[in-house]
Amino acid sequence: MKMEKNNNSTGVFGRLKEGLSKTRKGFIRNIDEIIFGEKVISRDSFEELEELMIMADLGPVFTYDLIEKMKEKAGREELESPDILKNILMGKMMAALKESDSPLDIPPDELYTLMVVGVNGTGKTTTIGKMARTFKEEGNSVMLVAADTFRAAAIEQLEIWSERVEVPMIKHQMGSDPSAVAYDAIHAARARKSNVMIIDTAGRLHTKTNLMEELKKIKRIMGRELPGAPHETFLVLDATTGQNAIPQAKMFHEAIGITGIVLTKLDGTAKGGIVVRIAEEMKLPIRYIGIGEGLDDLRRFDSGEFVKALFE
Percent of the chain with pLDDT over 70: 90
User: Which has the closest alpha carbon to 277: 92, 120, 116, 118?
Assistant: 92
Q: Identify the pLDDT of residue 79.
A: 61
The residues of the chain that CATH labels 1.20.120.140 are: 2-98
Higher per-residue confidence, 44 vs 255: 255
266 touches 239 (CB < 8 A): yes
- Can you give the pTM of this predicted structure? 0.90
**pLDDT at residue 37 tops 60:** no
Q: Right CATH number for 2-98 from 1.20.120.140, 3.40.50.800, 3.30.70.3460, 1.20.120.420?
A: 1.20.120.140
Give domain 112-302's CATH architecture.
3-Layer(aba) Sandwich (3.40)
Classify strands 298-300 and 286-290 as parallel, antiparallel or unpaired.
antiparallel
Which of 188-197, 254-263, 291-300 shows the lowest per-residue confidence on average (mean pLDDT)?
A: 291-300
- Calculate the alpha carbon distances from 265 to 58, 69, 211, 234, 295 in Å: 17, 31, 24, 16, 13
Distances (CA, A) of 26 to 77, 181, 273: 29, 44, 11
pLDDT band at 40 (very low <50, low <70, confident <90, very high): low
Looking at the chain, the domain(s) classified CATH 3.40.50.300 span 112-302
Computed over every residue of the chain, the mean pLDDT equals 88
For residues 280-303, average pLDDT:
93
Q: What is the mean pLDDT of residues 178-207?
A: 92
pLDDT in the model for residue 55: 86
